[in-house]
Structure 1
Amino acid sequence: MSQPQAVLPGQPIVPIISAKKKAKYLAGRNCRIENITFNGSGVPSIVSSVVGKTSITKKEPLETSNESDKSDSYDEYVVNVFSKHDPEYVSPEDGTSEFNYVPTLTSSTPKLNDLVLARVMKVSMDRVKVEIISIDADSEGSHVNAKELMLANFAANENNERFKGIIRSVDIRSTERDKVKTWQCFQPGDIIRAQVISLGDGINYYLSTAKNNLGVVLARPSGENTFAESGKLLYALDWQTMIVPETGDLEQRKCARPF
């Protein structure tokens, strides 16, 4: 596995032991050691604590007179992560201390017709209140480049708060709109995919789920279900029904068509 040149907080960089390279890695600046689960096993690894660029340097070996110890020993390397706030970091390309972040987040705000992921916060009789957690860069006509979304769940306003959204009952589905019951379509905590249909009133974006590919994409059992506190996921059976696999209990949602 190649070692990343640029990393995000919490991103693994390299295992602390590489038997193939006979190398041992030590955590340096802006790094920590965590157990990373890989193929069902915990692998102690060096993990980044900041956004920055990696630097791996070899430690000078200690003097030893035993040749067999030299052949069996592991070379030691120190892993550092340097951010633009570290004055000692020098870019190997041009010899300057300038650091350019890959993500560009300043202009990434929801626009008309964008697809967004949102978390349901409150359900009332005629509307559903949500908070927008990210913009779908793969949606057709999206103004956001995929590289700008390397930091997931970034969508926030100038006050570092989530953008808010409202889904009116008439915008939940495209058929029988006057018969929609919001609490049968969404529950607080559901993660939904929705489309921006209006920039709203200056506080809330107006969203819609009235397409087959829009609606609930991730949900857990509601409070009335015995599995509500177990952390189990619901699975969609059709566009308006989800199931608890362990019990066979059904719950109503306005489901998004799977990818």
Structure 2
Amino acid sequence: MQERESERELVTPGDVLGKATDLKAGKGAYVASHNNTVYASLTGRRSVLPPPPDSSDQRPIVEVTGHKAHGAVPEPGSIIIARVTKVMARMASTDIMCVGPKSVREKFTGTIRQQDVRATEIDKVDMHSSFRPGDIIRALVLSLGDARAYYLSTAKNELGVVSAESPAGGTMVPISWTEMQCPLTGQIQQRKVAKVGS
């Protein structure tokens, strides 16, 4: 763990990150051709990532992850607010809108897998009864998943759908852990509802 922390030192634009013979420039970094040196192009934390296993270039990749001033960035353990964009049989896709109280400026996508929807009866989770496109959810970031999407979890009581619109255009009201009701039509839909309050 000690080593990981030293890898994450703060750098500013123009700081030397290493030689291009040893490192490949990733996000937030560039190579100056006149001296073959990798420099930081933004303020943030320096991190070194292993090269993709299928890459012919086996140099580690050095990245600078934008400092919080550039808008919030989801990290494992952070609570986020996201909008559901697509629901499939085994997962739901979301666009992350806020990390904690801060809004994000870049596009981050999140994926909620079937096994991360709730803590109990995981095998009985029906994604279409848990989320619908357009729902606003509160979720926990588990890890950076694949294809730049974060894996999210709504398995705690306080996580899940916080706001949903009914087919009639009303803002649905939670009536239980698993149901929300349209105030206009009285129609009830199933959801993985976030518990409000204590």
| Percent sequence identity over aligned pairs | 42
Offset of residue 167 of structure 1: 0.2
* Partner Cα distance (1:116, 1:212) in 2: 15
Residue 96 of structure 2 is aligned with which of 132, 137, 141? 132
Structure 1 equivalent of residue 134 of structure 2: 189
* Larger Cα-atom Rg: 1
1:246 counterpart = 2:191: no
**1:180 partnered with 2:107:** no
* 1:135-163 Cα shifts (integer Å, max 9, x gaps): 114xxxxxxxxxxx3xxxx3133xxxx10
Structure 1: unaligned runs, 5 residues or longer: 1-103, 138-148
The match for 1:115 is 79
Q: Distance in 2 between matches of 1:114 and 1:202?
A: 19
1:156 is aligned, of 105, 112, 117, to 105
8 Å contact from structure 2 (residues 72, 105) kept in 1: no
Please give the TM-score of this superposition, normalised by the length of structure 1. Answer: 0.48
Q: Measure how far apart 1:193 and its partner are.
A: 0.2
CA contact (8 A) 2:71 2:104 kept: no
Give the direction of change, closer, same or farther, for the CA distance of 1:243–1:105 in structure 2 (3 Å limit): same
Per the TM alignment, residue 107 of structure 1 is displaced from its structure 2 partner at its CA by 6.2
Task: Spell out structure 1 runs of 4+ moving beyond 4 A.
Answer: none
Letter in 2 for 1:187: R
Q: What is the distance in 2 between the residues matched to 1:186 and 1:195?
A: 15
Which residues of structure 2 form unaligned runs of 5+? 1-67
Cα 1:126/1:217, change in 2 over 3 Å? same
Match of 2:53? Answer: none
Question: 1:98-122: per-residue Cα shift (whole Å, max 9, x none)?
Answer: xxxxxx5326211111000000000
CA distance in 2, matches of 1:111, 1:202: 16
How far apart are the structure 2 equivalents of 1:210 and 1:242?
Answer: 18
2:70 equivalent in structure 1: 106
**For residue 108 of structure 2, what is the amino acid of its counterpart?**
F
Aligned amino acid, residue 136 of structure 1? G
Amino acid at match of 2:80: V
Mapping of 1:1-259 within 5 angstroms?
105-106=69-70, 108-137=72-101, 149=102, 154-157=103-106, 162-222=107-167, 227=168, 231-259=169-197
What is the number of residues matched between the two proteins?
130
